[in-house]
């Protein structure tokens, strides 16, 4: 970690977002659009050749040494060894010698746009833009938001299929549905479809026995209506029994770890039978108890470089820390993390598809971008190999959220979203922290 954190660049990129929304599809192909917004990639070439890196393309292919990634109009055209790829004479060359390239990280469960400091309900276009830039700062090039998305989030999603993009991509669930009856459920799902959500989101949880849980006939109505309308349903759960009941009801995505007890073989079989993905969000648990004292990562330069200073100060407040230390729910979630880690290992080894996710961006000190890198380390600590972790955070997260036609691997026609690292994460997953540069649609993300 060599970078200083003295200079904090302005993060208000509303204008850029609005500009992106105005760029029509036809204009995208015009060469002069490149690099216009960031001022970092000044070249005007439609074709870029990234040369010399060791490339892990996110598939089962072994890494390619001394590779060329050929990018045209923001998308991957070819990835192969230097000498086997023809580089067009008009291509802009970018040298990445000595770097290891991985696909941009995909967070399958985040939240965007609504949090300022430790408070929610601040949704705005400016916050959406700020958050998407913050994710990109840490190499998270796609975030799938699982709820509380408003118009500005939908607009950001709809503006991102452009070769000029240089912030993280966003997919949205819209409001978290909380229907009062089966009929209400059907109405809300219809509304979700009219909004063009990427997934439907519900919560089936009693928050450690403190709130009523959504009734089975209501979530059954949500799921049935969603499936009738061609939509998938992501479910927030805590208990194994709820997860099983939701799988029986047809749930499509398990958005958190099971934290009350160890998963059993029947759960594994249920997940595998329908190929349902499991999103561990281990760092969500961390955020529930770690601020009982000042966490070690508060002195990590990589954290401090982009973390909101006021939020960090607030989380150091001794009164707040004492309250968290003495909180029974914090203690229970901390215990839940141990269960969650064991369950992740068991499910991953059993072949259940794992989608990296964090629940970052919720107003609880879940620092976007940094928490994804921490999540990868925690997945490794739970017993997954670096290859398993990296697959979960790229290809599999994209597959699980049905966006693998666009992102998740560096294959022909997908967006050229990738991270150049100073060291190989397949040797040690912590090397994902050693970020040299982040590229989105082949554009260098300003950071």
The rounded distance, in Å, linking the Cα atoms of 228 and 193 is 11
Q: How far is the CB of 110 from Zn ion (least distance, A)?
A: 8
The rounded distance, in Å, linking the Cα atoms of 213 and 53 is 51
Q: For residue 169, what are the CA distances in angstroms to 188, 299, 304, 307, 417?
A: 26, 29, 23, 20, 10
Residue 279 vs 407, nearer CB to Zn ion:
279
Residues in CB range of 209: below 8 A, 6 or more apart: none
Q: How far is the CB of 212 from Zn ion (least distance, A)?
A: 19
Residue 242 vs 359, nearer CB to Zn ion:
359
* Pair 369, 140: CB distance under 8 Å: yes
DSSP string, 155-215: HHHHT--STT--S-EEE---SPB--SSHHHHHHHHHHHHHHT-SSEEEE---TTTTSPPPP
Residue 64 vs 146, nearer CB to Zn ion:
146
For residues 113-127, b (16+ Cβ closer than 10 Å) or e, as one string? Answer: bbbbeeeeeebebbb
Which chain residues interact with Zn ion by CB under 5 A? 146, 359
Residue 112 vs 218, nearer CB to Zn ion:
112
For residues 55-69, b (16+ Cβ closer than 10 Å) or e, as one string? Answer: bbbbeeeeebeebbb
Q: How far is the CB of 120 from Zn ion (least distance, A)?
A: 11
Q: How far is the CB of 104 from Zn ion (least distance, A)?
A: 21
Residues in CB range of 65: below 8 A, 6 or more apart: 54, 81
Task: Tell which residue, 373, 380, 286, 393, has the closest CA to residue 336.
Answer: 286
Residue 74 vs 361, nearer CB to Zn ion:
361
Residue 146 vs 202, nearer CB to Zn ion:
146
Task: Tell which residue, 277, 274, 255, 260, has the closest CA to residue 203.
Answer: 255
Q: How far is the CB of 76 from Zn ion (least distance, A)?
A: 30
Residue 146 vs 379, nearer CB to Zn ion:
146
Q: How far is the CB of 226 from Zn ion (least distance, A)?
A: 18
Residue 359 vs 404, nearer CB to Zn ion:
359
Kind and range of the H or E element at 103? strand 100-103
* Pair 201, 147: CB distance under 8 Å: yes
The rounded distance, in Å, linking the Cα atoms of 120 and 118 is 7
Q: How far is the CB of 208 from Zn ion (least distance, A)?
A: 16
Residue 353 vs 357, nearer CB to Zn ion:
357
Task: Tell which residue, 392, 447, 443, 393, has the closest CA to residue 94.
Answer: 443
Residue 285 vs 411, nearer CB to Zn ion:
285
Residue 155 dihedral angles phi and psi, to the nearest 5°: -65, -40
Q: Which residue is nearest to Zn ion (CB)?
A: 359
Residue 420: count other Cβ atoms within 10 Å of its Cβ.
22
Q: How far is the CB of 175 from Zn ion (least distance, A)?
A: 13
Q: How far is the CB of 369 from Zn ion (least distance, A)?
A: 16
Q: How far is the CB of 329 from Zn ion (least distance, A)?
A: 17
């Amino acid at each position: 970690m060599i970078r200083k954190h003295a200079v904090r660049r302005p993060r208000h990129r509303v204008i850029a977002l609005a500009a992106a929304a105005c760029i029509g599809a036809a204009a995208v192909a015009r060469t002069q659009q490149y690099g216009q917004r960031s001022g970092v990639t000044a070249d005007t070439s439609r074709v870029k050749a990234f040369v010399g890196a060791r490339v892990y393309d996110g598939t089962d292919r072994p890494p390619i040494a001394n590779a060329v990634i050929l990018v045209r109009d923001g998308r991957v055209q070819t990835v192969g060894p230097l000498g086997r790829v023809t580089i067009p004479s008009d291509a802009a060359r970018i040298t990445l010698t000595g770097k290891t390239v991985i696909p941009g990280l995909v967070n399958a469960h985040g939240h965007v746009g609504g949090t300022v400091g430790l408070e929610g309900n601040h949704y705005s276009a400016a916050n959406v833009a700020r958050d998407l830039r913050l994710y990109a700062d840490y190499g998270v090039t796609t975030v799938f938001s699982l709820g509380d998305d408003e118009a500005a989030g939908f607009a950001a999603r709809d503006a991102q299929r452009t070769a000029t993009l240089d912030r993280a991509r966003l997919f949205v669930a819209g409001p978290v549905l909380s229907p009062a009856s089966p009929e209400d459920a059907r109405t809300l799902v219809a509304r979700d479809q009219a909004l063009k959500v990427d997934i439907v989101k519900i919560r089936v949880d009693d928050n450690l026995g403190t709130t009523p849980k959504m009734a089975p006939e209501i979530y059954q109505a949500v799921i049935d209506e969603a499936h009738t309308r061609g939509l998938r349903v992501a479910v927030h759960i805590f208990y194994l029994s709820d997860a099983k009941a939701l799988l029986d009801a047809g749930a499509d995505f398990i958005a958190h770890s099971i934290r009350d007890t160890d998963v059993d073989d029947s759960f594994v079989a249920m997940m595998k039978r329908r190929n349902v993905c499991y999103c561990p969000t281990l760092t969500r648990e961390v955020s529930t108890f770690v601020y009982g004292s000042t966490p070690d990562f508060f002195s990590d330069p990589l954290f401090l470089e982009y973390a909101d200073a006021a939020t960090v100060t607030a989380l150091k407040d001794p009164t707040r820390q004492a309250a968290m230390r003495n909180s029974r729910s914090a203690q229970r979630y901390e215990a839940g993390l141990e269960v969650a880690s064991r369950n992740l290992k068991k499910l991953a080894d059993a072949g259940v598809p794992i989608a990296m996710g964090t629940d970052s961006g919720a107003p609880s000190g879940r620092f976007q971008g940094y928490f994804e890198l921490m999540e990868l380390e925690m997945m490794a600590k739970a017993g997954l190999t670096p290859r398993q972790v990296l697959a979960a955070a790229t290809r599999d997260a994209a597959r699980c959220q049905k966006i693998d036609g666009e992102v998740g691997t560096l294959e022909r026609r997908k967006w050229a979203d990738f991270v150049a690292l100073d060291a190989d994460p397949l040797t040690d997953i912590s090397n994902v922290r050693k970020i040299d540069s982040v590229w989105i649609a082949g554009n260098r993300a300003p950071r």
